[in-house]
Amino acid sequence: MLVFKPFKVGDFIEGGGTAGVVEEIEIFTTQLKTPDNKKIIVPNASMTGGNIINYSAKDCRRVDMVFGVGYGDDLDKVRSAINEVISADERVLADPAPTVGVVELADSSVNFVVRPWVKTADYWDVYFAIHEAMKKRFDAENISIPFPQRDVHLIKDDA
């Protein structure tokens, strides 16, 4: 840890079977603080024995989201609404350009993948804000958000 330095104090990482913000890097252990404010002491042997994901290492990150709409909805209208919502958020970066496309024809919905890029520090704020803004926009545009449904047919047995 001290030689290769895959992370530094303040980075949000995943490694050794856990995730959190690095608070201390010592000779034998690394101390993390979890998002719910728990202190985890991870042996460095556990860290070096597996993959380490450093979410803070790069200046920007892609936010991956999927929004499902009804099969009866106008896909061009949906794509336009999605693009307007993501371009209205000033934290979304113009370069690299966001990706918006149909990713799946699912059982109950047509699923759009929405992948804007943001500064790493803005990741969660944008993630939550875009979800809320998308729901409000879909409601305003009468774009349906389907959910699984089941029809039950009762058959009377005269026996």
Encode pLDDT of 4-17 as tens digits: 688 999 999 999 99
Provide CATH 3.30.70.100 ranges for the chain. 60-140
CATH entry 3.30.70.100 includes domain 60-140: yes
pLDDT tens sequence across 27-83: 999 999 999 999 999 999 998 888 999 999 999 999 999 999 999 999 999 999 999
The verdict on whether omega for the bond into residue 116 sits within 30 degrees of 0, i.e. cis, is no
From 2.30.30.60, 1.50.10.10, 1.10.260.40, 1.20.1250.20, which CATH number describes the 12-54 domain?
Answer: 2.30.30.60
Distance separating alpha carbons of residues 9 and 17, to the nearest angstrom: 18
CA distance 50 to 8: 17
Chain region(s) in the chain for CATH 2.30.30.60: 12-54
Beta strands in the chain (DSSP E): 12-15, 18-25, 29-33, 39-43, 53-54, 60-62, 65-69, 99-105, 110-115, 117-119
pTM across the whole model: 0.82
Cα–Cα distance, 116 to 154 (Å, whole number): 47
pLDDT digits 0-9 by tens, 138-149: 999 999 999 877
Among the listed residues 29, 25, 27, the one whose alpha carbon sits nearest the alpha carbon of residue 7: 25
Q: Cα separation of 20 and 73, whole Å?
A: 41
